[in-house]
Structures are given as C-alpha cells and as structure tokens.
Amino acid sequence: MPLNGTTYEYQPKDYKSDLKPIWCPGCGDFSVVAGIYRALAAIGRPPHEIAFVSGIGCSSRIPGYTTAYGFNSVHGRCLPIAQGIKLANPELLVLAAGGDGDGFSIGGGHIPHLIRRNMDITYIVMDNQIYGLTKGQLSPTSQKGRSTVTSRLGSLEDPVNPLLYVLAYGAGFVAQASPTDLAGMAAIIEEAIRYPGFAFVNIQSPCVTYGDESQQIKGLKAIQESLESLGHDPADRLAAMDLAQHYGSKLHLGVFYRNPAPPPTYGDLVKERQEQAAKDALPRERILELFIKK
C-alpha cells in the first residue's frame, strides 16, 4: 500500500480482500473477480476511492471479495443504490454487479433509468442463465425449452436478451466477456470503467452446479468469436444491435458499442445546475427572507 507522498503502482492483489469466496469450485465468478482486480489495478485508483454495490445472488457476493467499499444490498436494487452513492459522492468510482436474475428480472426496471441519465456507473452482470443461489430455478436469460426445477417439461418463455435490452435503451457502452479469456475480460472491464457514463458488461459466467452443459467453459469456447476478428466497428450502434441478436447462439466477445461522442453524465448536469443555482442563491444569513414576507 502507498505511503503518503509516494507514487504507487497498484497490483491486482491490492484489491483482493481477506474474505475467502464460498462459490462452488469451478464457478465462472472466480474469473470475474480476478478480472475486476486486474482492471482496477490498471485504472490505479486506491480501494478507498471505489464503491462496489451488488444485489442478491451468488455473484452478488463479489463486493466482499474486494478491498473497495462494498454493499451487498437488496435483490434487484443495486443500481438505484449505486446511483445514490454516485450522486452523493461524485468522486467515487462506482461499480455495480449482480446476476442475470437480479439485473433483468427483479431489477430490470431500474436499468433504463440509469441509461437515460447516463449515470457514470459500470454495471457488470454475471449471466449464468439460472438462479444458482436458490438451487436452479428458471431465470430471465434461461433458454427456451430449458428444463429446471421450475420448468420440468422445459421453459415456454423466450429469454431476455441483455445486450439488445441495454442497446435499445441507448446505453453508451455495451460489451460482453467470458471467463474463457480472463485477460480479455479484464481489458473490457477496464474499458467500461474508463467510459464516461453508464457502461454495461455482460459476462457469460458458467454455473458449474446448476448450469446447462452447453453453458460451461467448453461449450462457451465452441461458440465464442471476438468482435474484433469480425471487423466490427464499435461506433456503429445498428451493427451492434444486429450482432447482439445472436445472443444465446453465438458468444461474441468484445465491445458491441461505444458511443464516440458520449453525452454529459447526470452527475455533470447536476453539478452544472447546482453551480447555476448557487449564483442566484441568497447567502445563508438571508435565507429566511424566502419565507417571511416583509
């Protein structure tokens, strides 16, 4: 750790807490947290300048495994809480994380509002297509026909497509990663954090206990393809939406969309409004004049 007045190059282990993860051995989330340590080291902000908020679920344990300020909050509510933290303390680097159920079922209604405000928050979804913590129920991203404890004869529902979901609402940064490429995943998370605004990273993170065979590492490797190798231009939103439609059949890794001209963040606009309002504001000792008629 740095001493006052000295420069210090942060290493991934500086973001690793003493808490031992209790995920099942082989869980994709081990790679995700390792990718986050690497990304944070590359960004180089000290842990006390980072707030990490999650919802509920296996993956939502993740803030506890980092040395950042952490809040393992309420099911589906990590985004509004992260938003409150960011507005109250704009200097903090704010990360939000959770699973596909937390993000796209219980918390699905919160996502559009952070996108339309362009909140400067990085949202990482560990998408395993199942409710793992509660032992294998159908989740919003489970494939149609999937047999689970709550869909014995196969799911009748089409899955939510997380990539199209956020692209359609106008997210400025949308990417997908996988534990099949840890270094690539770390680079994508780093890029998401550096984006000035709402950044979404969908990570196909296999559940080794309740996950479908096709969603394990071997299955993911068989369908993965880097967007860069396809010659995809991340500034082309329509092309991104076209590629995002392959969610579930292909695993495209990389940045789908990065707004080349990011709009101001909500935090920037609030600050501007506060500065404007402060110009006309009465000094504190005259504040009662607003309420008392003379």
Partner 1 sequence: MAIRGIDFRTLSLMDALDLAILVEDEAQERYEEFAAQMEQHRTPEAARFFRFMAENEAKHGRELSARREQLFGRTARVVTPAMICEVEAPDYDAARAFMSPRRAMEAAFASEVKAHGFFVEALPAIRDAEVRALFEELREEEVEHQALVQAELAKLPPDSGLADEDFVDEPAAQ
Q: Rule CB under 8 A: which residues touch partner 1? A: 9, 11-13, 20-22, 24-28, 30-31, 34, 38, 41-42, 134-137, 149, 179, 181-184, 186, 206, 208-210, 216-217
| For partner 1, the closer CB: 23 or 195 | 23
- Min CB(113)–partner 1 separation in Å: 32
3-state secondary structure of 52: strand
Q: Is 198 in contact with 119 (CB distance < 8 Å)?
A: yes
| Residue number, 205 or 259, with CB nearest to partner 1 | 205
**What proportions of the chain, in percent to the nearest 5, are helix, strand and coil?**
40, 20, 45
Q: How far apart are CA 52 and CA 243, in angstroms?
A: 30
Pick 92 or 186: Cβ nearer partner 1: 186
Least separation in angstroms between residue 14's CB and partner 1 is 10
Nearer to partner 1, 65 or 266 (CB): 65
Burial of 56 (0-12, 13-18, 19+ CB in 10 A): buried
Burial of 130 (0-12, 13-18, 19+ CB in 10 A): buried
Query: 22-51 b/e with 16+ CB inside 10 Å = b?
Result: ebeeebbbbbbbbbbbbbbbbbebbbeebb
| Minimum gap (Å) between residue 186 Cβ and partner 1 | 8
CB of 67 to partner 1, least distance (A): 16
Q: What angle do CA 160, 113, 71 make, to 5 degrees?
A: 85
Nearest Cα neighbor of 178 from 204, 199, 200 is 204
**Measured CA angle at 75 (ends 70, 79), to 5 deg:** 60
Q: Which C-beta is closer to partner 1: that of 12 or that of 90?
A: 12
203 — phi, psi (to 5°)?
-115, 120
**Tokens 């206990």 belong to residue:** 209
Three-state secondary-structure class, residue 70: strand
| Tokens of residue 280, six digits | 């006309």
Q: Nearest distance from residue 267's CB to partner 1, in Å?
A: 29
Q: Residues 93, 47: contact at Cβ < 8 Å? A: no
Which of 31, 60 has the CB closer to partner 1? 31
To partner 1, the closest distance from the beta carbon of 187 in angstroms equals: 8
Minimum distance of partner 1 from residue 101's CB (angstroms): 14
Of 172 and 206, the one with the shorter C-beta distance to partner 1 is: 206
- As measured in angstroms, the least distance from the Cβ of 134 to partner 1 is 6
Q: Which is nearer to partner 1, 54 or 205 (CB)?
A: 205
